[in-house]
Structure 1
Amino acid sequence: MPQLPLGPAGTPGVEVRVETGAGAQVRRSVLPGGIRVLTEAMPGQRSATFGAWVAVGSRDETDGHHGSTHFLEHLLFKGTPTRDAMAIASAFDAVGGEANAATGKEHTCYYARVLDADLPMATEVIVDMVTSALLDEGEFASEREVILEELAMTEDDPADVAYERFAGQVFGQHPLGRPIGGTPATIGAVPRDAVYEHYQRVYTPAELVVTAAGGVDHDALCEQVLAGVARGGWSLETSAVPAARRATGEAFTSRVAAVPGMPTEASALTVHRSTEQANVLLGGFGPAGNDERRFTLTVLNAVLGGSMSSRLFQEVREKRGLAYAVYSFGSTFADAGMFGLYAGCAPGKVTQVVELLDEQWRLLATEPISSDELERGIGQMRGALVLGLEDTSSRMSRLGRSEITTGEFLTLDETLARLRAVTAEDVRALAADLYGQPRHLTVVGPFETDVAATALPRS
């Protein structure tokens, strides 16, 4: 089956569609105001997942607005002129549905999973929230305290602390290095007017992407979205086009950062926490979200640290019993990426564990993997992809990320074909590029000395 090229911004009224198998069909329409609507109708599904996306995240915040994106995620559930917070919550509870939101570094999504018959209700409520949030001063003050408690909870989780600090090391002073939720200082300082200004600036029809999957009628959903946006008072000019996608970066090469201004030297950071275990992260830059090697990266992760048969699991946990949790991971953004290896171990074993993480990474970069490892890695990712798409929420999210990030929706067959095309040499070459980047080490645990500086592998 062909891939669906989502193309540039698009023209209002223009539609593209593609059959995705088993009677399912993806459709994309550009509505007045530049609103984009993408659906995947799945015959026989009695549920549907709806998402309203804004392609703005924590990296887009300006000085004085840090934390505003995550603040808005909370405040949009606090009420509109037509329904208060209780009415919003009750609407979904009354039908057994689920509603939530997520803020990322490059986008925010408000979503709900309901029975197909209740999709019009979910659409109406979420569109009302997105277009007509009150951002009441009293609610703002109380929600500030809730967010500060959320940040405190994160600081109490040593794994979360490790990931936040690690991202700061990899990306430095670049906006990608900032915590998504802000800090206690920025949340405590940001005024309601700054958050409202951020809301008015970035929540516009041209930035809005609506996606839905499951038991959904595309034409009916488009009508419901337009009606909801009109009730919210947003402009629906027929000549308006969607906002341009975020600029993407060139593929990184050995020891070259994907984005100017990011750190070019290795670093080590030890964070003291009174824990029984040390949380260890070793890694650096990775491919951006539009890099063709993103398919190779998934296979590399499967082989290195993505399963019970992976090298890290076998070497660190099974053979030596040094960790319960050990794995590798990759995070991609429009113009940069991050790659890392994680392990949780006894504080006295940090140096030994870091040496093993580095050794397995280096071996992957210098010696081609076996044919058995390659087939197992590809098979793992193929199975995970297919099983994941049994869920309407996964399909809804896939539509949104495709529209916002790459501008290309791949059918399942096309995605599987790209995975099958990955070779052992592709994996080795990418591992070598990753290994050639400045490496950063974060260690969180009960340390009085700078254990990370001692354990950091030298090139």
Structure 2
Amino acid sequence: MSIVRIQSSPYTVSQHRLSNGLRLVHVETTLQRASCVVLARVGSRDEGRGEHGLVHLLEHMLFKGTKRRRAYHVSTRLESVGGDLNASTSKEELMLQATVLPRDLARSTELVSDIVQNASFPTHELEREREVVLEEIASYRDSVVETLFDEGEELVYGDSALGHPILGTRASVRGFTREDLLAFKSRYFVASNMAVCTSGPFSAHDVFAQAERHFIGIPRGEELPPRALASYAPPQCRWRTKRTAQTHCLLLGKAIPDGDPDLDKLFLLMNIVAGDAANSRLNLLLREKHGLVYTLESDIVPLSDTGFYSIYFGTDKAHVVKALAMVTQELRAMTEVPLSRTKLQSAKRQYLGQLALSRVTAEALSVDNGRRALRNQPPITQEQLFSAVETITADDLQRMAARVFDENRYYTLLYR
């Protein structure tokens, strides 16, 4: 068995490819926790005009039975031993994730492989789950912030494939059939378009041998053609009347794609400007100094050929112009004035601590390397991730700020 292995403390990352083209990634750790994740390179971006919401519905239906198991037996197979089985859909990816104690990794691997290969989409389950998804859509409509973010993505990407909501519409969800699900699954659930990512206190050789037994039956499939390049709507400011107690403001901008060598610089920059910590620059300015907001948060969404970032806050309608001006002024300052050596070191120390404590877990490192494998990139270790952050300079951050913080290219959406 040919295995590419990179060893570092506390994790060892290994990568292998089965004869059917399926990519395998394993992160060996001493922690008493294990995971098995399947990544399928398909998301809402890959849906055609009449398919909006199809991937998300397929994600729901994966749990509703296989050729060997009824829905109840799928849902209880891991829960009965204290494990967890979940799934998610994004713009470019469907992820099926099982988390268990190490003793149950074989159980989770067998279950996940059965779901991926043998999901049967029973008609009676489809009719029931369709109603569940319709309720999910209704719950999003009731959430001002969820609606704001969905519309924000549409503001950036317009009527392109990236601009429509992952959940689809009530009309589209009502129209899907079992045959639609089966056809879509057979198109994208092929070995050349998937990766299996595991973590736990086991050797890569043993885990890969186990994965081969369960996943070798997945057909190779044809290499899917490249996605159409992202298209953008023109930058704009949009107001909506929602009769909310606060004015909810979302500022968005174009970012950089996943796999860009400078992505770590963007994440550090956004952590300094609008990260979760109370000492981020915008939190200090808007909340601590001026008392204009209760919640301020940011996000970065890197995609295969594009990306965007967002900064969200809610404030009294009398303060929104002032607060928004403060945000854009702070972003401009990051392009004009480099961080001092002391502030840069402090920012890097904070960000590395956050990564170590909550973001670079064995599961997360495994999934990140699975995505890298799907891009045909070599594996990366925790130490390499941290080392890349350590080498970032104040000039790097200033250049990145100039690259993404352009007042003439902002998209602004306000609900009041």
**What's the CA shift for 1:229?**
3.4
C-alpha distance in 2 between matches for 1:318 and 1:209: 45
- 2:307 matched to 1:345? no
Structure 2 unmatched runs, 5+: none
Q: Do structure 1's residue 17 and structure 2's residue 9 form an aligned pair?
A: no
Q: Which amino acid aligns with 1:364?
A: M
Q: 1:320: which partner in 2? A: 290
CA distance in 1, matches of 2:345, 2:227: 35
Map 1:203-222 to 2 at 5 A.
203-222=189-208
Tell me the CA shift for residue 376 of structure 1: 2.0
| Counterpart Cα distance in 2 of 1:279 and 1:182 | 23
State the distance in 2 between where 1:400 and 1:104 align. Answer: 16
Is structure 2 residue 222 aligned with structure 1 residue 234?
no
The residue that corresponds to 2:304 in the other structure is: 334
Match of 1:375 among 345, 348, 353: 345
* Cα distance change, pair 388–402 in 1 and its aligned pair in 2 (3 A): farther
Deviation at 1:363, TM superposition (A): 1.2
CA–CA separation in structure 2 for the residues paired with 1:95 and 1:51: 18
2:114 alignment counterpart: 128
Residues 245/312 of structure 1: CA separation in 2 closer, same or farther (3 Å cut) = farther
Write out per-residue CA displacement over residues 97-142 of structure 1, whole angstroms, 9 at most, x where no aligned residue. 1110011111111111111111111011111011101111111111
Among candidates 29, 36, 50, match of residue 42 of structure 1: 29
Residues 298 and 381 in structure 1, CA contact (< 8 A), matched pair in contact too: no
Residue type matched to 1:183 in 2?
Answer: T
Residues 155 and 318 of structure 1, relative CA distance in 2, 3 Å threshold: same
In structure 1, C-alpha distance between the alignment counterparts of 2:317 and 2:53, rounded to whole Å: 33
How far apart, CA to CA, are the structure 1 residues paired with 2:168 and 2:207?
35
1:149 aligned to which of 131, 135, 140: 135
* Contact kept? 1:35, 1:242, Cα under 8 Å: no
| 1:305 equivalenced with 2:293 (yes/no) | no
Shift of 1:404: 3.1
Structure 1 unpaired stretches of 5+: 1-12, 249-258, 446-459
CA contact (8 A) 1:50 1:123 kept: yes
Say if 2:13 and 2:380, in contact at 8 Å, map to a contact too.
Answer: no
Scaled by the length of structure 1, the TM-score of the pair is 0.85
For residues 273-307 of structure 1, give each alpha carbon's deviation from its aligned partner in whole angstroms, at most 9, with x where no partner exists.
Answer: 34322221112101111222211111211211112
Given candidates 252, 256, 272, the residue that maps to 2:241 is 272
Instruction: Please give the per-residue CA displacement for 1:62-82, whole angstroms capped at 9, x wherever unaligned.
Output: 222221111111000000011
1:332-373 C-alpha deviation (Å, 9 max, x unpaired):
011001022211112332212111111111111222222233
Identity of aligned residues (%): 27
- Change in Cα spacing, 1:441 to 1:275, as seen in structure 2 (3 Å) is same
Deviation at 1:56, TM superposition (A): 1.0
1:110 aligns with 2:88: no
| SS of alignment partner, residue 151 of structure 1 | helix
Q: TM-score, normalised by structure 2?
A: 0.93
Deviation at 1:310, TM superposition (A): 1.5
In the alignment, structure 1 residue 439 sits paired with structure 2 residue 410: yes
Moved more, 119-128 or 166-175: 166-175
1:33 aligned partner, one-letter code? N
Cα 1:328/1:405, change in 2 over 3 Å: farther
d(CA) in 2 for partners of 1:247 and 1:227? Answer: 32
2:266–2:400 contact (8 Å) kept in structure 1: yes
Separation (CA, whole Å) in 1 of partners of 2:323 and 2:374: 38
In the alignment, residue 37 of structure 1 is paired with which amino acid?
L
Mean alpha-carbon deviation: is it higher for 340-349 or for 99-108? 340-349
The root-mean-square deviation of aligned C-alpha atoms, in Å, is 2.2
Residue 316 to residue 405, structure 1, CA distance change in 2 (3 Å): farther
Instruction: Please identify runs of 4+ aligned residues in structure 1 that moved more than 6 A.
Output: none
SS at match of 2:195: strand
On the 8 A contact 2:100/2:108 being kept in 1, the answer is yes
What is the total number of aligned residue pairs between the two structures?
414
Task: Tell me, yes or no, if structure 1 residue 170 matches structure 2 residue 140.
Answer: no
Partner residue, 1:10: none
> Following the alignment from structure 2 to structure 1, what is the Cα–Cα distance between the partners of residues 118 and 371?
24
Query: What's the counterpart of residue 28 of structure 1?
Result: 15
Q: Determine if the alignment matches structure 1 residue 190 to structure 2 residue 176.
A: yes
Shift of 1:162: 1.2
- Which one is further off, 388-397 or 165-174? 388-397
**Post-superposition shift, 1:412?**
2.0
State the Cα distance separating 1:260 from its structure 2 match.
Answer: 5.8
Give CA-to-partner distance per residue, 1:2-40, whole Å, 9 cap, x none: xxxxxxxxxxx6421111224x32211111211111101
Write the distance in 2 (CA, Å) between the matches of 1:405 and 1:170. 25
Contact 2:28 2:204 in 1 (8 A): yes
The answer to whether the 8 A contact 1:303-1:373 is kept is no
**SS of equivalent to 1:175:** coil
Whole-angstrom CA distance in 1 between matches of 2:358 and 2:378:
19
Given that 1:25 and 1:41 are in contact with CA atoms closer than 8 Å, whether structure 2 keeps it comes out as yes
Report whether the alignment pairs 1:81 with 2:67.
yes
> What is residue 453 of structure 1 aligned with on the other side?
none
Task: For 2:206 and 2:341, locate their aligned partners in 1 and report how far apart those are by CA, in whole Å.
Answer: 49
Q: How does 1:379-458 map to 2 (within 5 A)?
A: 379-388=349-358, 391-405=361-375, 407-436=377-406, 438-445=409-416
Distance 1:247 1:194 in 2: 21
1:354 alignment counterpart: 324
* Structure 2 residue aligned with 1:288: 257
Q: What is the distance in 2 between the residues matched to 1:184 and 1:366?
A: 47
Cα pair 2:250 2:413 within 8 Å, conserved: yes
